[in-house]
Structure 1
Amino acid sequence: MAPTSKTNRVTIKTVAADAGVSVAAVSKVLRDAYGVSDALRARVQASMEKLNYRPHAGARAMRGRTYTLGILLPDMRNPFFADILAGVNEALERTQYQTMIGVSRSAETIEMSLIDSMIDRQMDGLIMIGPRMPPETAEAVSTRIPTAVVGYHVPQLATLDTANNDDVAGAAQVVRHLATNGYRRITMVTLAVPTKNVVVTVQRERGYREAMKERGLAQHINIVPADQTAREVQTAVRHLLESRHRPEALFCWTDMVALHALSVAKDLGLSVPGDLAIVGYDNTIYCDLAQNSLTSVDQSGQVLGLQAARLLIERIDGRQQGDHFVVSPRLVVRGSSRPRPS
């Protein structure tokens, strides 16, 4: 079968003729305009499906919207990002919006290059997840394109919206849980990034420090940074677990780090939690597997994604003031942090 030529492309006029309505009516359905009846919408959508009609992105941009949203991820390996994307998709289910994903590899230069490309392609809005850029850069981006950010603490900015977990509270819950279960030498494994209060790891480090002091464990405060690669994380954890004053518990800034810690502990012949307690953050799907049984902080990734998409569409629709949604974390206790043997 020969490919359809440009002259045979199904147009808005073709859809209108098939549905027996005006071109203006089809246009209203495409724009999700106010006042379109359910019957008219169903009639037009049936014709579009029958004719395999696809709106022309360039033409939609000329009319004001492309109904395309950009999503900027730090990487594709962290399963927590899948939870966020599931929430975004849920929020967009009954809309015309489609998403396109860019992966920055946690590099600020790549972030900016991807954002420029998304703007060049006339996307209507942008969702950034855990960006590495400073607040002034994020603010500058939000003046160019409607922006919502997940995992980025900038409640003072009015030009963009955020959806966050209370990272300080989540980290404090971990320390209190471990201390209650008899652990004193609690070490935090964090991400090696320049200190920026907007970054979730800095917020979690703050919660860890405050809770350690609250529990009278200030002398045991130990925060160990590691790059995000598996090799760097495993090297840092191995060094800790082979040291003379081995920690009694590890609080890992994300589940991916905690899973690497479990692997290193097993390789060294250590029992979890007999010799070492391990707690992660995100409560991803791998925590509940029997071989992991990983205690973790649930920060409701799907809710964060859903709220970020909601906030972005509201911003696209004209809201001017900033909206900063915060979800309360919840510690999910499993076998990796059972009470310390007496």
Structure 2
Amino acid sequence: MTATGAEKKNGRVTIREVAEDAGVSVAAVSKVLRDAYGVSDALRAKVRASMDRLGYRPHTAARGMRGQTYTIGLVLPDIRNPFFADIMVGVNNALERTQYRAMIGISESSVITEMAIVDSMIDRQMDGIVLIGSTEDRGNHDRIASLKPLVTIGHHDPEATSFDTVNNNDQQGAMLAVQHLVAGGYRSIAMLSLSSGTSTILSQRELGYRRAMIEAGLGKAINIVQIPQTLREVQLAARRLLEGSRRPDAIFCWTDFIALEVISVATELGLSIPADLGIVGYDNTVYCDFAQNSLSSVDQSGEQLGLQAVRLLIERIKGRSKAEHLVVTPRLVTRGSSTRAG
């Protein structure tokens, strides 16, 4: 069999050529491409080997007309926070043995931009969408879910029925951080949070901070400072705290991204970490382990969140309709930033 003139003109390897190279039928190749039920590992390996050898790439537009493009959309609020890189590792691990590929959009934490990106992904017939750290509007989420399978990471909504959620237990994570600082002898513990009125992640972490402070008998010392997540605002807020008349002896930061900047400001002001100031972050990103940072942090298993979100999304794409809400248990990783000498 030979490819049509149109197929040859655009230089693409065809499904027929793959079938001839693999010594199987066109229908068999199609089944492998569709990940159809009953395809043996041997057949899949043979066809995949021919695809790789010939450089075959499925025609996305044509697959879209048949109802599936094997692409999923991921929407991130920004690319500066290293925690999102951890999530992407999990996403890639989950996709490794599938035909799906991920396309990324950056919302800059704007509702308008986020929805514009999502609409573009829907227009391009992506098979499903993962919203990471979304702007958290239930109405928008339900609208997206009515059009495409949807999973959110970093949005607590256990009553949602049209989409799935994947989170860590943010309240418990914050409590672990405060309890650790209290056990280390710190008493004036402040929290640096993000100024966002709709984030369920922040509200849960702030609630965990308050609960742990009250349980430790430190209710009168509760001090939550909400700031925009920009470098200048973080620097100014940290400086105001550390140069104020009621300087805290420890700061719990809602993310490592902020905590690392607090370390920088404290060092610039001549404070000793952890003797003068204990610092705990959240996410346990790779930079925590650098010797100059040695940042204690709550590990919420970013890779696991990404992996589980993709697993749930593919289940949705394949027909599951009942909502699932997965919560991962956090753990605290202690390092030098909060561990005083005995």
TM > 0.5 fold call: yes
Report the Cα offset of residue 340 of structure 1.
8.1
**Aligned mate of 2:46, from 43, 48, 54:** 43
1:328 is aligned to 329
Whole-angstrom CA distance in 2 between matches of 1:26 and 1:286: 45
Deviations 1:28-60 (A, max 9, x none): 010010111222222222221222111000111
**Aligned mate of 2:159, from 156, 170, 182:** 156
Whole-angstrom CA distance in 1 between matches of 2:11 and 2:81: 44
Give every structure 1 segment of 4 or more consecutive aligned residues whose post-TM-superposition deviation is greater than 4 Å. none
Whole-angstrom CA distance in 2 between matches of 1:303 and 1:24: 36
Whole-angstrom CA distance in 1 between matches of 2:168 and 2:13: 45
Q: Structure 1 pair 231/320, CA: closer, same or farther in 2 (3 Å)? A: same
Report the Cα offset of residue 7 of structure 1.
4.6
SS at match of 1:183: coil
Q: Structure 1 pair 171/7, CA: closer, same or farther in 2 (3 Å)? A: closer
1:113 is aligned to 116
Deviations 1:147-184 (A, max 9, x none): 11111101101111111000000001111111111111
1:220 is aligned to 221
Q: TM-score, normalised to structure 1's length?
A: 0.95
| Matched letter for residue 232 of structure 1 | E
| Matched letter for residue 214 of structure 1 | E
2:183 is aligned to 180
Identical residues among aligned pairs (%): 60
Contact 1:150–1:164 (8 Å) recurs in 2: yes
Whole-angstrom CA distance in 2 between matches of 1:127 and 1:321: 17
CA RMSD of aligned residues (A): 1.4
Contact 2:190–2:223 (8 Å) recurs in 1: yes
1:267 is aligned to 268
Contact 2:136–2:155 (8 Å) recurs in 1: no
Contact 2:72–2:101 (8 Å) recurs in 1: yes
SS at match of 1:18: helix
Gaps of 5+ in 2: 1-6
1:276 is aligned to 277
1:286 is aligned to 287
Whole-angstrom CA distance in 1 between matches of 2:75 and 2:47: 33
Q: TM-score, normalised to structure 2's length?
A: 0.95
Gaps of 5+ in 1: none
Whole-angstrom CA distance in 1 between matches of 2:231 and 2:176: 26
SS at match of 1:143: helix
